[in-house]
């Protein structure tokens, strides 16, 4: 579970903001160009899952590998949806509330789980996630049981087109990513990376390992809950199976395929894994093969994920010119 | 009386099947340090290949069971060489390759056999009657095969040269290399056994309960619980934990509705894991 950060290259930082601004402008004018409602729906899903995937990666920088992230999306989705439906509160209020519930539960279980490390943390969180889903199934009328919670009040009035939703989730994703980026490159983020490299050395210089691990789980779960709550009020129907173990594994895939060692990795991974199968929709039930092929190519040829691709190509070319081997494997 | 007997046989069968699949998983875990998330999918495809042999080719069920075991075992050899060996010790890439295997297997089953649940024809017909109690031969045979295989695996690991080499690798891989043990060959053997056992369990469960493309996800969760609670490198630990988990799964659904019993089982497992993270019988694994 290697989560170390490669050193930032000062020279390239100059162009970074312009790339980000360019991307934001392109995404902002996309609905004016794109007429397909279905495509807008896919893009909205990409925004939601980007928040979840990036927040999952934020937890992994502390050396923990949670396998319950979709379950926290589920906690956010169901708590927000249930409060809005049964108490009649406004979705604008219940969405942050759902995120806070996910954060609270994440920090509560983070306390006993802080003594589990590496693989045992992953397994403990996996079982916790399964427990959450079975509690949702056992919830009867409150959660809708196996058939899911229906009739959740939508975020915007009924009959609103996809375009306002698109801009809302674009804004939500932008703010969340900015917050997570600031968090990762803050002093707290540095402490978390120190814990990931050696928890003993980190404790010996006065970093409170347990507290920081609980804190990062809380932050990660907050954004997962926010993404889940957003999904609930966008889709108005949520089913437990959308947040089960396989859904968590998909979030893990989004992170790993893009590259777990860089902030941009999960974003690229989410876009690629949600968008590419859409281009092969004509294949219908055979389209998972396309996903499997992409994953296979990445796992065999790109040890750093898709983010490492430019560097990989550069080093391959350089290697050929110089005529000597340069190790580019992780 | 009838219900108690049914619960008892259900317990024994579920436990033996969990243990069969979990032992294979535990071999790979302790020998290669491999968290084979695709193990559930391999168990699932075993059941489907058995079904294909019996219904499409019209083979004798017993012959089909043996052929399935060999084919899935060979598939395990392929996986070991091309999917697991290149990524030994790299958790992230192992997870990715396992997802690829799950995707390919589940999509193939969905497209060829459909998403509806199927079931294998019973291996034996008839019911054993003793006074007021009756047990179907199906259940007895399923449990007997499971128990016999468990005995064979325990004998193999403890009494044969290859089995002892497996234990040596599990204890210390580099030490085993230094003693001249061919680690790759033993890993391949472990993979063959692991996948073969999963295939047999898939066929037996396919006849006893049902076959579905997602039955592997359920089994994967069970064996993860079992192996993590048992700890690494302890076969008796897997046996005991398997009996306990099987008992929970056989008794709780008889008393409560399905979702509640799942929630209770998971809660118990999480609490046990927090109490003793390194497992109850074996040792902790460093990753």
Interatomic CA distance for residues A72 and A62, integer angstroms: 18
Is pLDDT of A330 > 60?
Answer: no
Which residue of A lies nearest to B105 if distances are taken between CA atoms?
A289
Q: What's the pLDDT score for residue A164?
A: 87
Q: What is the ipTM of this complex?
A: 0.85
As a whole number, mean pLDDT of residues B199-220 equals: 88
**Could you tell me the residue ranges of all domains in chain B?**
2-114+135-213
Q: Between chains, do B262 and A291 touch, taking CB under 8 Å as contact?
A: no
Is pLDDT of B283 > 80?
Answer: no
Confidence of residue B105 (pLDDT cuts 50, 70, 90): very high
Is pLDDT of B164 > 50?
Answer: yes
Is pLDDT of A5 > 50?
Answer: no
- B87 inside 8 A of chain A by CB: yes
Confidence of residue B89 (pLDDT cuts 50, 70, 90): confident
pTM over 0.90, yes/no: no
Q: Between chains, do A288 and B106 touch, taking CB under 8 Å as contact?
A: yes
Confidence of residue B70 (pLDDT cuts 50, 70, 90): very high
Which residue of B lies nearest to A287 if distances are taken between CA atoms?
B107
Interatomic CA distance for residues B277 and B286, integer angstroms: 12
Residues of B whose CB is below 8 A from A285: 107, 110-111
Confidence of residue A323 (pLDDT cuts 50, 70, 90): low
Confidence of residue A229 (pLDDT cuts 50, 70, 90): very high
Q: What's the pLDDT score for residue A24?
A: 84
The answer to the question of residue A107 being in a domain is yes
CA A8 to chain B, closest CA, distance in angstroms equals 23
Interatomic CA distance for residues B269 and B272, integer angstroms: 5
CA B54 to chain A, closest CA, distance in angstroms equals 26
Is pLDDT of B251 > 60?
Answer: yes
As a whole number, mean pLDDT of residues B200-221 equals: 88
Q: What's the pLDDT score for residue A159?
A: 73
Domains held by chain A: number? 1
- A123 inside 8 A of chain B by CB: yes
The answer to the question of residue A256 being in a domain is no
The answer to the question of residue A55 being in a domain is yes
Is pLDDT of A48 > 90?
Answer: yes
Is pLDDT of A224 > 90?
Answer: yes
The answer to the question of residue A7 being in a domain is no
- Residue A191's domain comprises 31-243
Mean pLDDT of chain A: 84
Q: Between chains, do B107 and A146 touch, taking CB under 8 Å as contact?
A: no
Residues of B whose CB is below 8 A from A131: 263, 266-267, 270
Q: Which of B224, B234, B124 is nearest to B170 (CA)?
A: B234
Q: What's the pLDDT score for residue A4?
A: 45
- B151 inside 8 A of chain A by CB: no
Q: What's the pLDDT score for residue A9?
A: 46
């Amino acid at each position: 579970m290697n989560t170390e950060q490669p050193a930032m290259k000062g020279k390239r930082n100059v162009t970074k903001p312009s790339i980000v601004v360019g991307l934001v402008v392109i995404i902002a004018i996309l609905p004016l160009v794109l007429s397909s409602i279905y495509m807008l729906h896919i893009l909205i899903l990409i925004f939601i899952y980007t928040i979840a995937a990036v927040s999952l990666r934020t937890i992994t920088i502390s050396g923990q590998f949670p396998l319950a992230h979709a379950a926290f999306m589920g906690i956010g989705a169901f708590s927000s949806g249930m409060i809005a439906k049964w108490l009649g509160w406004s979705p604008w209020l219940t969405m942050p509330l759902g995120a806070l519930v996910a954060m609270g539960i994440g920090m509560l279980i983070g306390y006993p789980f802080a003594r589990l490390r590496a693989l045992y943390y992953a397994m403990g969180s996996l079982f916790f996630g399964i427990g959450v889903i079975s509690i949702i199934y056992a919830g009867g009328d409150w959660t809708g049981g196996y058939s899911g919670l229906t009739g959740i009040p939508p975020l915007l009035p009924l009959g609103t087109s996809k375009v306002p939703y698109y801009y809302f989730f674009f804004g939500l994703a932008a703010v969340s990513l900015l917050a997570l980026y600031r968090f990762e490159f803050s002093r707290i983020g540095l402490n978390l990376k120190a814990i990931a490299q050696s928890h003993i050395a980190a404790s010996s210089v006065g970093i409170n390992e347990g507290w920081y691990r609980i804190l990062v789980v809380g932050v990660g779960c907050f954004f997962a809950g926010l993404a889940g709550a957003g999904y609930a009020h966008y889709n108005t129907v949520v089913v437990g199976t959308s947040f089960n173990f396989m859904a968590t594994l998909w979030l893990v895939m989004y992170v790993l395929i893009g590259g777990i060692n860089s902030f941009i990795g999960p974003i690229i991974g989410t876009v690629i894994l949600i968008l590419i199968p859409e281009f092969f929709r004509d294949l219908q039930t055979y389209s998972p093969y396309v996903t499997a092929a992409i994953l296979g190519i990445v796992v065999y040829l790109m040890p750093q994920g898709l983010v490492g691709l430019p560097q990989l190509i550069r080093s391959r070319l350089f290697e050929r010119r110089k005529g000597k081997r340069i190790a580019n494997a992780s | 009386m009838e219900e108690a007997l049914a619960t008892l046989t259900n317990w024994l069968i579920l436990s033996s099947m969990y243990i069969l699949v979990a032992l294979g998983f535990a071999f790979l875990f302790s020998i290669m340090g491999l968290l084979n998330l695709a193990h559930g999918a391999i168990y699932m495809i075993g059941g489907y290949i058995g079904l294909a042999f019996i219904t499409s080719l019209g083979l004798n069920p017993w012959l089909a069971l043996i052929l399935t075991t060999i084919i899935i075992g060979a598939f395990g050899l392929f996986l070991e060489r091309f999917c697991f060996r290149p990524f030994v010790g790299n958790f992230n890439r192992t997870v990715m390759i396992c997802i690829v295997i799950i995707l390919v297997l589940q999509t193939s089953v969905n497209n060829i056999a459909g998403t509806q649940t199927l079931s294998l024809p019973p291996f034996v017909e008839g019911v054993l009657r003793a006074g007021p109690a009756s047990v179907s031969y199906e259940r007895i045979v399923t449990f007997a095969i499971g128990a016999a295989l468990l005995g064979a695996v325990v004998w193999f690991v403890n009494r044969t040269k290859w089995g002892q080499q497996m234990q040596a690798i599990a204890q210390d891989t580099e030490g085993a290399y230094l003693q001249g043990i061919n680690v790759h060959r033993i890993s391949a053997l472990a993979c063959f056994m692991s996948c073969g056992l999963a295939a047999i369990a898939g066929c037996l469960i396919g006849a006893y309960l049902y076959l579905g493309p997602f039955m592997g996800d359920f089994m994967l969760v069970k064996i993860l619980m079992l192996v993590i609670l048992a700890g690494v490198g302890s076969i008796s630990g897997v046996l005991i934990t398997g009996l306990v988990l099987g008992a929970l799964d056989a008794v709780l659904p008889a008393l409560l509705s399905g979702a509640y019993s799942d929630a209770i089982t998971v809660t118990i497992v999480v609490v046990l894991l927090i109490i003793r993270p390194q497992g109850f019988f074996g040792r902790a694994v460093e990753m």
